[in-house]
């Protein structure tokens, strides 16, 4: 049961990241609750898509039975997570406080 609930939770987060990333890439604007914090929405959207794909790949990698494949998938997913997080950080203003 924990496996199924984990799959549902990760899928919901990945879909949310994908929707906000596609919104930022397609329109050049961030989601309404993030508009004041993100001056470069296309860069942030690319990072969101990369981060979401990394989360999905990590979740898929946890279901793989072959150790060689898992040894390749987990470092790739970690690299995608880190690069996506860095891209999202660079797309935001560092010291901006939402008012």
Ordered by start, the domain boundaries in the chain are: 2-91
Q: What is the pLDDT of residue 78?
A: 95
Q: Return the pLDDT at 49.
A: 93
Residue 67 and residue 30: Cα distance in Å, rounded? 39
> What does the alpha-carbon distance between residue 65 and residue 42 come to, in Å, rounded to a whole number?
37
Q: The pTM is what? A: 0.83
Query: What is the share, in percent, of the chain residues with pLDDT greater than 90?
Result: 35
The confidence band for 79, taking pLDDT boundaries of 50, 70 and 90, is very high
Burial letters 18-53, b for 16+ CB under 10 A, else e: bebbebbbeeeebbeebeeebebbbbbbbbbbbbbb
Reduced to 3 states (helix: H, G, I; strand: E, B; else coil), residue 95 is coil
Question: Which residues are CB-contacts of 36 (< 8 A; sequence separation ≥ 6)?
Answer: 96, 98, 99
CA distance 29 to 41: 6
Q: How does pLDDT run across 62-78, given as a tens digit for each residue?
A: 888 888 888 899 999 99
């Amino acid at each position: 049961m924990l496996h199924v609930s984990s799959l549902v939770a990760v899928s919901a987060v990945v879909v949310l990241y994908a929707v906000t990333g596609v919104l930022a890439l397609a329109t050049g604007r961030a989601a309404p609750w993030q508009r004041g914090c993100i001056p470069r929405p296309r860069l942030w959207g690319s990072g969101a898509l990369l981060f979401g794909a990394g989360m999905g790949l990590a979740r898929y990698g946890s279901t793989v039975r072959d150790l060689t494949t898992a040894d390749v998938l987990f470092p790739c997913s970690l690299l995608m997570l880190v690069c996506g997080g860095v891209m999202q950080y660079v797309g935001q203003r560092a010291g901006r406080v939402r008012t």
